[in-house]
Amino acid sequence: MLNPITNNRKNIILYSLVWVAVLAAHFFLIALAGDMPMWLRILDSIVQISFLYALGIGIWHITTASKNEKAFAAERWAGIFLSGIMIVVLWQLFSGGVVWLIAEKSDSYRTLFTVALPYRLMFGFFVFIILTIIYHNIIVFRDFSERKIKEEKLRSNIAEQELNMLWSQINPHFLFNSLNSISALTMSDPEAAYDMTIKLSDFLRFSINTRDKQLHTLEEELEVCDRYMDIERTRFGNRIKYTKSVCKNCGTVMVPRLIIQPLLENALKHGAYETSGECEITLKCKINANLLIINLENSFDPTAVQPKKGRGVGLENIKKRLQLLYPRDGILATEKQQQLFLVTLQVPVS
């Protein structure tokens, strides 16, 4: 784990400024204590505080090392306090010894050192405790932040995997239906079957080229829908009456990929597959406040035999995908009237 002081330029400047202030205060106190040459006072202040400055940075490694121990909290803190006592004693022995040797074993300095030693030990231990608490809180905050990031990444990965799984159901489902349509046309209208095969190939190629996107623009989504409806018109011909109304500023809104096409597939399933009459499908897109409102309605014959329930890939798939992408209620709503089935989709405008 990187040292928060040495790894950040602003922090090391702030840390240094604090110790410059401590150095000035130390020099002022030394000036009040006894009769010593000015150079010796300056030397003592610089040596004492420089050692403590370096030890203050090193305390970080003691704190991080104790964090990795498997002992109980009380034992860890006891070990930290013992380390602090040893460090403070060594600080005074080294710094005091260096100044005493440079001062040629000055008696006045030895007297000052002896008198000031208890106060310096207390000050040094106080600094050790303060820095240890600060470092400990930094470690706790970093661990908490890293844990939150990991949890968020895990949730994001799970959601992405679920989205990929749900999306992967769409193409096989659509392909299954399309191949059934081609199979039905092979005997009755080979030319239409050939035409539908080409259009299906174009549609799948377009899907593969955009497979890495979870979102794309509404304009791209509508292009997918147009390609899909071209395929279905090959089978149903003039029985399908498909109209759309899209406001000008809707095209650039980002929407989940292949979110409208399954709605069209569902509309055809209930409106054209089970009846021999016309199926009117109307798609409307508009922006209201911060929402893209997508309305899809299709006519159906309430007296016709309803299609057998499948595996629920259509609307259920869409609901699950929307819940993962937009965790709020009311995004997808359906309503069945006398001869109309209405689907309303609300997508937040980013």
The set of long-range contacts for 111-116, using a CB threshold of 8 Å and a minimum separation of 24, is 111/34, 112/30, 112/33, 112/34, 112/36, 112/44, 115/33, 116/33
| Dist CA 19 CA 51 (whole Å) | 11
How far apart (Å, rounded) are the C-alpha atoms in residues 108 and 313? 91
* Strands 279-288 vs 291-299: parallel, antiparallel or unpaired: antiparallel
Cβ neighbours of residue 181 under 8 Å, at least 6 residues apart?
196, 231, 232, 234, 235
C-alpha span between 113 and 97 (Å, rounded): 10
pLDDT of residue 285: 94
The secondary structure element, H or E, covering residue 72 is: none
pLDDT of residue 311: 44
SS3 180: helix
Digit-coded pLDDT (tens) for 106-157: 777 777 778 788 888 899 899 999 988 898 888 888 888 888 887 777 666 6
Return d(Cα 308, Cα 274) in angstroms, integer: 10
Domain 189-348: top CATH class: alpha beta
pLDDT exceeds 80 at position 290: yes
Whole-model pTM: value is 0.53
| Separation between Cα atoms, residue 170 and residue 160, nearest integer Å | 16
pLDDT-derived band at 33 (thresholds 50, 70, 90) equals: low
Q: Boundaries of CATH 3.30.565.10 in the chain?
A: 189-348
The residue among 199, 84, 194, 201 whose CA lies nearest residue 136 is: 84
pLDDT digits (tens, 9 = 90+) for 100-116: 788 777 777 777 778 78
